[in-house]
Amino acid sequence: MRIQAIGMKLYNFNSGPSILPQSVLEEASRAVLDFNGTGLSVLEIGHRTAWFQDILDEAKESVKKLMQLDDTYEVLFLHGGATTQFMQVPMNLLNPGETAAYCDNGIWGKKASREASLFGNAVVVADSSDKGHTYIKKDFTVPGNAQYLHITTNNTVEGTQWHQYPETHVPLVADMSSDIFSTQVDFKKFSLIYAGAQKNMGAAGVNLVVVKKNILRTLQKPVPTIMDYRKHIEAGSLMNTPPVFAVYVSMLTLRWILAEGGLEEMGRRSREKSGLFYKTLDSLPVFKAMVAKEDRSEMNAVFFLADPSLEAEFLELCKKEGMIGVKGYRTIGGIRVSMYNALPLQSVQVFCDLMKDFAIRKG
């Protein structure tokens, strides 16, 4: 906290948990002391009280409104992040011996397919590792007997993103943890969506699951109650004690997205921020972008120094100037700038100015 102590402004580019809207932080902080004038902290209210039910109801309604979904879909707020869903999806959608198709465009797709292989035949139909996951492989065939196709819509580690979703004859399942609610898309294309909240939708500790109810079949195997989507639907996300505070922060964040103009406005801002960043990146030879231009992520820009010996110096400069969370993922290295919904355009501009200054001195 030394930087804050001397009054320096911090620019939060963390990949997750990430920056939250200031108004959400202020409202949540007030609720920690006194929730809506009840005299109780939001950390103290019972999860089966009308107070929490109102929070949960608004959060679910906001999700459906933003996604433009009808009652054929159910919204759940569950424990665990995307990693839990790597097993929960095949546990609920596959009978023993059945097949599911997976796209491996990075570390999270690979982990998802490995978990699925514990519950059925997980076939990797698209693998971009031949070029270090620097592109999205779009030319592939889904087996006719596949029960679903799984994709990771945005690859946080590698910096790639699906900008057009694959057309498929089977139900489409997506891990949207790092780009959910960042722009308007046709969510009806998907039969199941899951997303950890800690990037565009709130604080760490809760996972959103949106499932089309007709995808849930009678299974020829037992499923532990706590892992069964149908049981969670019956219980209204209250089968066990939910992460009350995390759900509350998600509700506030969803409320903020709606108040700011919804997904159309989030998409406009996202394109403006990422457009500014990539234009700057491409103009400076001291930096090197590896990701195919058509597959670049609007959420997570991953790049390197053309001269690797300059990386430590650049990272130290970022630290000195209050740029937080820009060191690349431990298995990839390089630099990563995350531009989630709550990140203001000004932060991207300041980072771009820093890049230009560094390039002048080192170019």
CA distance 159 to 141: 24
User: Cα(86)–Cα(106) distance, rounded to whole angstroms?
Assistant: 14
- Residues β-bridged to residue 210: 75, 193
Q: How many whole angstroms separate alpha carbon 77 and alpha carbon 247? A: 7
DSSP string, 84-130: HHHHHHHHHH--TT-EEEEEESSHHHHHHHHHHTTTSEEEEEEE-GG
Q: What are the backbone angles phi and psi of residue 289, rounded to the nearest 5°?
A: -100, 130
The owner of tokens 């596949």 is: 146
Only one residue has tokens 């630099």, namely: 335
At 212, which helix (H) or strand (E)? Answer: strand 207-212
Instruction: State the catalytic residues.
Output: 108, 175, 199
- Kindly state the helix (H) or strand (E) to which residue 281 belongs, with its residue range: helix 262-282
CB 296 within 8 Å of CB 161: yes
Q: Are 28 and 249 in contact (CB under 8 A)?
A: yes
Q: Looking at this protein, which amino acid is placed at residue 135?
A: Y
Tokens of 195: 């997303």
Sort 329 into a burial class: Cβ within 10 Å, 0-12 / 13-18 / 19+: middle
